[in-house]
Amino acid sequence: MSLKLSQESQRVPEVADDGIWLECIECGETFAPFEAVRYTCDDCDGLLEVRYDDLPTWDDFENDERGVWRYNAALPFEEGVSLPEGDTPLHEVPRLEESVGVHRLRIKHEGMNPTGSFKDRGMTVGVRVAEELGVDRLACASTGNTSAALAAYGARAGLETLVLLPEGKVAAGKIAQASLHGARILEVDGNFDSCLDIVQDLAARGEAYLLNSLNPFRLEGQKTIGLEILERFYADEGRYPDRIVLPVGNAGNTAALYKAFRELVASGALHPRDVPKLTGVQAEGAAPMVEAIENDADEVRRWNEVETKATAIRIGNPVNAPKALPGIRETGGTAVSVSDEAITSAQRALAQEGIGVEPASAASVAGLQKLRNQGVVEADEDVVCLTTGHLLKDPDAAFEAGDDPEPVPNDTDAVLRHLEGRSGGVLSKLTSRFTR
Ligand code: F0G
């Protein structure tokens, strides 16, 4: 295990509030957490991270709560604006496990959160911080899921919400959510990265509180994905998984899981050799993180042209790369890109196990399959794939991957004749084997 844990800061700076502060990951400058609105370092513009003087062990999570706030010993507040979120299933998938060819495969289905994606875990904390700071308008750029979550949590908190979306590139279910929950939706003639540029400008001008994953508090909530996976897998199997495979867009989850593991190691709750290998998957048409890992580069090159049917991860400038690249490298993981066809094939394979996911989510399984075929992932590994969003988020993609409904006459005998005439239907596509 090649884990060289980045040094957790030992000293508690004067700016700390109740043992919590913000620290720049580049220059180490520290800031009070809730005195002023701040997303990056005042001095060097580096990414900020939330730091704690006291890091929890597993015992500190023993309480009657469920979901994200069960882990409040690892979070900046006791409770948040909650719907509630987290406590998502860790599915067994015996047929998929066999066809992929690993010792154990589990699917952590984040589509089972209140708005249908993992973003809720970040928003329950982020919107709580917005209340603490006393802001009155929330904003984000989004490929869809962040906007749905922000709209719901903003509504819950009674705060105005503004979302910027790339025109024509957001799945229908997500826009429907943002719309009904009452967000003001601006469709930008550009891609996600342009939307983020604009919303960052708006935030810098004090027009809104930014709740993209650049906001360090969002990632605190998303750490609980890692905590839940480790706790549940250990309870089921008596050991921790060797590897966690996840789709990557802005690399917020990759950064958040890495931080969760580092904090557990620092508190003594997790041995460094038990840290799972973080393995990121991108679509071929939007794979700047994969490029950086393959080239052993310190920085990610921004891709200006990006395309994939997995619109949730149609991102060319992963803002959390400085936090996520060390996470992939220090845990001994890797990153891989997959074709849109492989994503659809994995989406069908998951559906065959009863697990309905949107295309970006299926990228994790497609990536695992590719790495297994290449021999990078070994047959004796225990692997957890993260599926980040629900099937109903992107109904068009689901229709495209599944079979068409068959029109039949309004008559039982005719229906029977139809059934005997053709044994097709939805199952024919679903049972088409998940090819290696
Ligand atoms: N999967 C889904 C379903 C997503 O919606 C996203 C990100 C990711 C994976 C990537 O996660 O950014 O932590 O690497 N969606 C954002 C949004 C960008 O606006 O909804 P990441």
Regarding the beta carbon of 143 and ligand 1, being less than 6 Å apart is answered: yes
Distance from the CA of 309 to the center of ligand 1, in angstroms? 14
Q: Of the residues 162, 200, 214, 250, which should be mutated to test ligand 1's pocket, given the most ligand atoms within 8 Å of the CB?
A: 250
Q: Are residues 266 and 123 in the same domain?
A: no
Omega before 84 within 30 of 0, i.e. cis: yes
Please classify residue 436 by burial: count the beta carbons closer than 10 Å to its beta carbon, then call 0-12 exposed, 13-18 middle and 19+ buried.
exposed
Question: CB count, 10 Å around CB of 59?
Answer: 8
Q: Are residues 233 and 324 in the same domain?
A: yes
Nearest to 83 by CA among 37, 114, 109: 114
3-class secondary-structure state, position 384: strand
The pair of structure tokens assigned to 147 is 């906007």
pLDDT in tens, the chain (436 residues): 444 455 455 689 999 999 999 999 999 999 999 999 999 999 999 999 999 999 999 999 999 999 999 999 999 999 999 999 999 999 999 999 999 999 999 999 999 999 999 999 999 999 999 999 999 999 999 999 999 999 999 999 999 999 999 999 999 999 999 999 999 999 999 999 999 999 999 999 999 999 999 999 999 999 999 999 999 999 999 999 999 999 999 999 999 999 999 999 999 999 999 999 999 999 999 999 999 999 999 999 999 999 999 999 999 999 999 999 999 999 999 999 999 999 999 999 999 999 999 999 999 999 999 999 999 999 999 999 999 999 999 999 999 999 999 999 999 999 999 999 865 544 444 444 454 3
**Atom 11 (ligand 1) nearest CA:** 249
Q: Domain tally for the chain?
A: 2
Regarding the beta carbon of 313 and ligand 1, being less than 6 Å apart is answered: yes
Q: Are residues 145 and 246 in the same domain?
A: no
Distance from the CA of 248 to the center of ligand 1, in angstroms? 7
Q: Are residues 204 and 235 in the same domain?
A: no
Question: CB count, 10 Å around CB of 11?
Answer: 8
3-class secondary-structure state, position 181: coil
**What one-letter code names the amino acid at 394?**
D
The pair of structure tokens assigned to 62 is 């023993």
Computed over its alpha carbons, how large is the radius of gyration of the chain?
21
Domain boundary among 363, 382, 397: 397
Q: Are residues 155 and 304 in the same domain?
A: no
Regarding the beta carbon of 149 and ligand 1, being less than 6 Å apart is answered: no
Q: Of the residues 107, 109, 117, which should be mutated to test ligand 1's pocket, given the most ligand atoms within 8 Å of the CB?
A: 117
Distance from the CA of 16 to the center of ligand 1, in angstroms? 31
- Residue 380's domain comprises 90-116+216-397
